[in-house]
Amino acid sequence: MITVRVGRLDESETEALLCPVRSDFSGLTGAGRRVETGAGEKVKARLEGMGELPVGGAVVTPGGDLRVPFIIHAVVESREESMTPMGIQRAVVNGLRRAREWEVASLSLPPVGLGVGTLDAEQSAEMVVALLRDHLQEGEPPAELVIVVESSFEEDLFRRLIAAEDHA
């Protein structure tokens, strides 16, 4: 099931959250920076010890000081590679793969690819909803996917796309 919730990603109460990051694990948006800060120093130190990941990579850490047991850090951008639809797709798919490997039952994620000014909001949202739908059709965990939005524009966009998919 895919649902949309208005709120803050760092306040999610699912089993894990997917946080889009740069290859050095720094947050890309206000939501990502709040997750980074909220997780605490132990998580930050753990990520710094990993070095950098390529675009499309995803790694799981404990949730640290957040309410979630796990954070899946999905790399969508690096110094050498700007954010692209293909990079977002690889990161989301690999993030979902990590969640499946860890048998995560519920996962929160932000509207990946929106708000950066370089990608079309409608196309990015359509791609993310399609990726989530494809994942659910596989019948593997996580079965509960929560898109956490912060604006009425994002809420309307994702609710409309999910409803359209439900009626297709």
Tens of pLDDT along 139-152?
A: 999 999 999 999 99
pLDDT digits (tens, 9 = 90+) for 16-66: 999 999 999 999 888 999 999 999 999 999 999 998 999 999 999 999 999
Bigger pLDDT: 118 or 54? 54
Tokens, residue 46: 């753990």
Whether the predicted pLDDT of 161 surpasses 60: yes
Buried b (16+ CB within 10 A) or exposed e, 61-84: bebbebebebbbbbbbbbeeeebe
Q: What is the mean pLDDT of the chain?
A: 93
Report the CATH architecture of 2-166.
Answer: 3-Layer(aba) Sandwich (3.40)
**117: pLDDT strictly greater than 70:** no
Q: Alpha-carbon distance 89 to 93, whole Å? A: 6
Q: In the chain, where are the structural domains located? A: 2-166
